[in-house]
Amino acid sequence: MRLIRQLSSTWLIAVAALAAPLPAAAAIDPFLKPQQPIAAPNGFIEMCSAQPDTCTDAAAATAASPKTWETLLRRINRRVNRHVRQVSDETRFAQHDLWRASGIARGAAGDCEDIALEKRKLLVDAGVPADRLFLAVAYGRGKVGLHLVLIARTDKGDVVLDSRSSAITPWSNAPYTWIAMQLANRPDAWFSV
C-alpha cells in the first residue's frame, strides 16, 4: 500500500507527530478517540464515488448478538487472512491505491485496505452492525510503514482485525502508532487519532 503518496498536509503533520510520546491515559483507554477532522484517503474517496454502497453505515438486516461477535471476528479475520494473498495495487492492477474488497475465492489477492474491506463486508453480511466497524490508518515500524486495518467496536473496547495477524487484539496492544480513523457511525468522516 502506498498511502504516503496521497497524504494531505494534515496527515503529514500526524506522521511527524509519531515521535511524540502518547499520554498515559491513551494506552489504557479501550476505545480509539477521534481528535481533529481530516480529509479521507484519496483511495477511499474514489471507492465511495464508484461504489457508494461500500461507504454506508446501514445496519445489517439481522443483527448478530454481541455474544457471537468474538467468534465471528476471529473466524472471519482468520478466514480472510488465510485465503487472500497480499499483493500491491501496482502489481495487481497496474495502478496506484485502488480500494475494493478482495474477495475470498480461489486466487483472491489484495493489499491491506482491500483485505480490511473484505472483512468488513463479511462481518456485516454475518450480522455485525456496520456502525460498529471502521477503518483506521496506522504506522508500523520497519517494513510495515503506513498500514490500514479494520477496527471492531465491541462493548469492551476497540479491537484490531489485521491482515498481518490472525489474532484479534485490543487497539492499544497492536504494534502500531495510530494516525487516522473513520467515525464508526459516519464512514465518510475521518479524524486524526
DSSP codes, 64-113: PPHHHHHHHHHHHHHHHHHH-EE--HHHHHSSS--------STT-EE-HH
DSSP state of 20: S
* pTM for this prediction: 0.84
> Which domains can be identified in the chain, with CATH numbers?
3-20+29-192 (3.10.620)
Average pLDDT across each block of 10 residues of the chain; the chain has 193 residues. List them in order: 46 44 58 95 92 70 72 96 91 84 93 96 92 94 88 94 95 95 91 96
- Write down the pLDDT at residue 94: 78
